[in-house]
Structure 1
Amino acid sequence: MFALVDCNNFYASCERVFNPNLQGKPVAILSNNDGCVISMSDEAKKLQLPFGAPIFKWDAFCKANNITVLSSNYPLYGDMSARVMNILAGFSPDVEIYSIDESFLELKGFENYDLSEYATKMRSRILKWTGIPTCVGIAPTKALTKVANKIARSNIKQSKGICIIDSEEKRIKALKWTKIGNVWGIGSRLKKRLQDKGCITAYDFTQLSSDWVLKEFSIVEWRLQKDLQGISKIPLEDAVSSKKMIATTRSFEYTYSDIDNIKERISTFAASCAEKLRNQKSSCHMLIVQLSSDRHKKEMQQHRENITVVFSSPTDSTLTIANAAVEAVKTIFKTGVKYKRAGVIVTGLVPNDNFQLDLFSSENPKHKPLMSAIDKLNRKFKADKIKLGNQDLQRTWKMRQERLSPRFTTNINDIIIVKTT
């Protein structure tokens, strides 16, 4: 059996832990630079505040409906997530951290356990130790735990935050309840193709011929179908496996129409990607640089473009990646356009100790020891003290966060002070 533990409205719940005045009230959390709504409490959802709503368009609505709007407090959310995941590690040795607010657990050898009682214990301990409410779905496969978790979340008062699919009757009933578009792993394009085939619910998908699914789609959809049929084909993944792509994309605090500011930002993003590459002991074959104007301001000249750079041999050097990124952004920059967002993506990743060498070209051998020294110093001083010359030495990345709550668990200056009399 597998379990999926999902934190309810995680970002909003983290804010409520340290500000009980927000309990029972509508709360919305904004994206980087206070751009769009990315998370909200159930109370805000009931008011029909849409996900992705640009706050500059919906600010008056939020004020009229007394919705508390907060900036994303990622240090707080990351720390609270780590606390939840550490608690879950005590319930099973096999844990896959799927995202910041949910994890899969494989329950091997739990045949004689009361799974409902065990799930209740998980929820109670997480709530008591962190203040974060959760829902738990338990089923024979990972895909079915997703279905079970949605059922548990749909009516917490009745389900008490727990749903267990442990019989064929429950599996069929759950799949007939689940719309095809709500199935884990089925996006909008796949949803349309399946609906054209007559699939309205997840149960309809399981009734298709497995051979047809494999022929018309891929092994991924075939495994998903088998998982929904109760045959486990999607294993628990290693939580520390390397990423296949690394991206640093940000909205600027202001719009920029000069190339110098944009080159500095691109160089900084590239340096961040290179550092992440070295942390996971990988090198990249390709670099993608993105640049776009503010799509919300239709009256302004719009421009959005990206360019791909292919390296002659894999690299993890900040010097090589940043120089290539700056040269790339110079080719796509257009004079007169006010740019709001940029990004650097490194892909085609390979292990540092296993890749094809190029006979006729190679990277400067001094780069490796130099990068190692820079990383060591930056780790020691807990900040990017060592930067490239084309980065602003006095500038750290600062998002617009006008509604930011304190970092209660990660900043000594923000720790709550309790006064007694």
Structure 2
Amino acid sequence: MFALVDCNNFYASCERLFRPDLRNKPIAVLSNNDGCAIARSEEAKALGIPMGAPAFKIRHLKAHGLITMSCNFPLYADLSNRVMQTLKDESPDVSVYSIDEAFINLKKIKDPLNFALSIKKIVERNTGISISIGIGPTKTLSKAANRYAKKNKNKTNHVYVVDKNCTHLLNTMDTQDIWGIAQGLGKRLALCNIFTATDLSLMEPYKARKLGGVGLERIVRELKGISCLSFDETPSGTKSIMVSRTFGRLQTNFEGLSQSISMFAARVSEKARSKRREGQYVTIFLRTNKHRKQDRQYHASLSTSLKHPSADTRDIGHAALHLLKKIYKPGFNYSKAGVLLTALTPKEGRQFNLLSQPRIKSDELMNAIDKINFINGKETIRFAASGVHRKWKMNQNNLSPAYTTRWSDLPKVLIK
């Protein structure tokens, strides 16, 4: 048996944790640059706000009590770590799936339901974050059970267990609600008169392979209660890492663009090191805002190969700035830029040739920078190329404090 633990409305829950006044109020968390809704509380969903709704289209709902918040990823990441650590303290077999989801192997648990109820109580007591738990004989069915637990919280108390005979559960799910079924595949299934999870579970595995490859065959078998994704099995390693941003204000000069590209390159390098990966190819892109019809339009990207796979900020930053000099054109209002690192390989499997060796003590320097920034805060140490006064920095007009990662933002308690 597998359990999927999922934090309820995670980003919105994080914002409420230190703001009791936001409880039971509609909250929408906005993306970078306060562009669109990427998370909604149940109250916000009740107002009809869809995922990805542009901020300017939901502004009028503030008259109905809607509160919009700028995304605060450092806060969310820290609270996620606390939730995951609590799960690991209670069970040795935990596999973190995303920032707000984790699988637990229940093979040695005699009473899965009571175990789940106990885990839920401990996590909510220790972290303040509400969770839902779905339990099933396969990972796919545990995801389905979790979805049912959330949608029927009054009946399930956010915990639901299914076995192989779960037709009642699968009847409530469209094919595109199933874990691993994308919109395009869902449309192809509809052409075959397969509309619900029950329909798909009745499909012959060999037919599923013909229609959607091994991936769809696995899903069909998992819906039948046959575990094809073992607990220890992990998806294929990350193949690329990208950091991109829409600018807070349009950029026209090379200096502002070079600072942003340098910062993106540093962030890409940091992400690669955290995953113990190194990349061979660096790509950058620039674009104007296609919706500004009054502006001249320009969109360009360019790639280059490093001398050897690297996660050193200096290597990736130097390559990115070299590319920027080639594709930058004056006279355009640039609205977005990004850096992409591809052809990632595990650091442990690095190979070099005689004519290209890594920088001396590169690992030691990068590790020292990462540790200092982890202890003292993001970008405590950064490369000067990323700028000091960043006029291009994205808008975050409703950013909450760094309650758990910055001393000056620690919540204050007044006793009268």
Letter aligned with residue 356 of structure 2 = S
Q: Hey, what does 1:30 align to over in structure 2?
A: 30
Alpha-carbon distance in 1 for matches of 2:56, 2:2: 42
Aligned-residue offset at 1:231: 0.6
| Aligned counterpart, 1:346 | 341
> Quick check: 1:284–1:316 contact (8 Å CA) kept in 2?
yes
Aligned mates of 2:382, 2:86 — CA distance in 1: 37
Q: Distance in 2 between matches of 1:167 and 1:242?
A: 30
Moved more, 299-308 or 19-28: 299-308
Distance in 2, matches of 1:77 and 1:388, equals: 26
Partner of residue 376, structure 1: 368
1:387 is displaced (CA, Å) by: 4.5
> Do the aligned partners of 2:249 and 2:392 also contact (CA within 8 Å) in 1?
no
Distance 1:125 1:390, change over 3 A: closer
Structure 2 partner of 1:117 = 114
Deviation per CA, 1:380-403: give whole Å up to 9, x if none: 364546554533256599542211
Q: How much does 1:30 deviate?
A: 0.9
Contact 1:120 1:162 in 2 (8 A): yes
- 8 A Cα contact 2:29 2:70, kept in partner: yes
Give the equivalent residue in structure 2 for 1:162. 159
Instruction: Determine if the alignment matches structure 1 residue 132 to structure 2 residue 126.
Output: no
| 1:92 equivalenced with 2:91 (yes/no) | yes
Give the match's secondary structure for 1:163.
strand
**Helix, strand or coil: the match of 1:120?**
helix
Measure the CA separation in 2 of the matches of 1:410 and 1:396: 25
Does 1:420 pair with 2:415?
A: yes
Change (3 A) 1:328 1:155: same
The within-5 A match list for 1:171-250 is 171-237=166-232, 243-250=238-245
Give, in angstroms, the shift of residue 174 of structure 1: 1.3
Distance in 2 (alpha carbons) for counterparts of 1:139 and 1:235: 13
Deviations 1:73-112 (A, max 9, x none): 22221221112112211332111111111111110112x3
> Does the 8 A contact of 2:164 with 2:224 survive in 1?
no
2:295 counterpart SS class? coil
Which has the higher mean CA deviation after the structures are superposed, 181-190 or 298-307? 298-307
- Counterpart of 1:13 in structure 2 is 13
- Residues 293, 340 of structure 1: 8 Å contact kept: yes
| Larger displacement relative to structure 2 (68-77 or 121-130) | 121-130
Task: Tell me the TM-score normalised to structure 1 length.
Answer: 0.90
Q: Are residues 194 and 273 of structure 1, via their aligned partners in 2, closer, same or farther at CA, if it must alter by over 3 Å? A: same
Change (3 A) 1:296 1:105: farther
- Using the TM superposition, name which of 93-102 and 333-342 deviates more: 333-342
- Please list, as runs of the form range in 1=range in 2, the aligned pairs for 1:45-84 lying within 5 A after superposition: 45-59=45-59, 61-84=60-83
Partner Cα distance (2:155, 2:389) in 1:
55
Could you tell me which residue of structure 1 aligns to residue 266 of structure 2?
271
Q: 1:35 to 1:142 in 2, by over 3 A?
A: same
Contact 1:95 1:239 in 2 (8 A): no
TM-superposed CA distance for 1:180, in Å, is: 0.5
1:323 is aligned to: 318
Give deviations 1:7-33, integer Å, cap 9, x for gaps.
Answer: 111111112221112111111111112
| 1:1-54 deviations in Å (ceiling 9; x for gaps) | 000111111111112221112111111111112121111111111111222122
Q: CA deviation at 1:66?
A: 1.4
Q: Which moved more, 1:269-278 or 1:62-71?
A: 269-278
| Residue pair 2:141, 2:223 contacting (<8 A) in 1 also | yes
Q: Distance in 1 between matches of 2:343 and 2:274?
A: 16
- Percentage of identical aligned residues: 36
Deviation digits for residues 332-385 of structure 1 (CA, Å, limit 9, x no counterpart) = 3343321122111111111234245446x525x4x2424532541453364546
Question: Paired residue for 2:356?
Answer: 362
CA deviation after TM superposition for structure 1 residue 297, in Å = 3.7
Q: Which has the larger displacement, 175-184 or 328-337?
A: 328-337
**How far, CA to CA, are the matches of 1:49 and 1:223 in structure 2?**
34
Shift of 1:62: 2.6
Corresponding residue pairs, total: 413
Change (3 A) 1:149 1:279: closer
Q: Give per-residue Cα distances to partners, 1:399-418, cap 9 Å, x unaligned.
A: 42211122222222222222
Q: Provide closer, same or farther for how the CA distance between residues 374 and 357 of structure 1 changes in structure 2, counting only shifts above 3 A.
A: closer
Relative to 1, partners in 2 of residues 1:384 and 1:404: Cα closer, same or farther, differing over 3 Å?
closer
Higher mean Cα deviation, 238-247 or 92-101?
238-247
- Quickly say closer, same or farther: Cα 1:230–1:197, change in 2 above 3 A: same
| Cα 1:389/1:21, change in 2 over 3 Å | closer
Answer with 286-295 or 154-163: which moved more.
Answer: 286-295
Partner SS state of residue 284, structure 2 = strand
- How far the C-alpha of 1:296 sits from its partner, in A, is 4.7
Q: Which amino acid aligns with 1:182?
A: D
Deviates more, 1:268-277 or 1:27-36: 268-277
Please list every run of 5 or more consecutive structure 1 residues that lacks an aligned counterpart in the other structure: none
CA contact (8 A) 1:275 1:375 kept: no
Using structure 2 for the length normalisation, give the TM-score. Answer: 0.91
Q: Which runs of 5+ in 2 are unaligned?
A: none
Q: Structure 1 pair 28/279, CA: closer, same or farther in 2 (3 Å)?
A: closer
**Residue 289 of structure 1 contacts residue 342 of structure 1 at CA under 8 Å; is this kept in 2?**
yes
Distance 1:106 1:220, change over 3 A: same
Root-mean-square deviation (CA, aligned residues, Å) is 2.5
Which piece of structure 1 moves more, 208-217 or 46-55? 208-217
